[in-house]
């Protein structure tokens, strides 16, 4: 297996990313959590699936009964 060295997509491609204090919103129809980030001061709408939160962060399943 060959190793490919990591490099930035663009030279000097630093981004300033912040997350406002707005609450994320659960979208039950699409099983996603939606939130806004700011990248270099511009708003960016983001979403992460419930499955990704379960798999990568140990979040409880959105489909489990209480």
- Whole-angstrom distance, CA of residue 32 vs CA of residue 46: 10
Residue 16 pLDDT: 87
Q: At 54, phi and psi to the nearest 5?
A: -65, -50
Answer whether residue 21 shows pLDDT above 50.
Answer: yes
Confidence of residue 14 (pLDDT cuts 50, 70, 90): confident
Residues 6+ apart with CB under 8 A from 28: 62
Answer whether residue 55 shows pLDDT above 80.
Answer: yes
Q: What is the largest CA-CA distance in the chain?
A: 49
- Over residues 44-63, the mean pLDDT reads 86
Task: Confirm whether pTM is higher than 0.75.
Answer: no
Domain boundaries, the chain: 17-57
């Amino acid at each position: 297996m060959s190793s490919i060295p990591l490099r930035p997509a663009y030279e000097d491609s630093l981004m300033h990313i912040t997350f406002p204090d707005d609450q994320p919103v659960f979208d039950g129809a699409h099983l996603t959590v939606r939130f806004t980030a700011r990248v270099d001061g511009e708003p960016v709408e983001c979403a992460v699936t419930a499955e990704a939160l379960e798999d990568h962060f140990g979040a409880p399943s959105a489909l489990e009964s209480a």
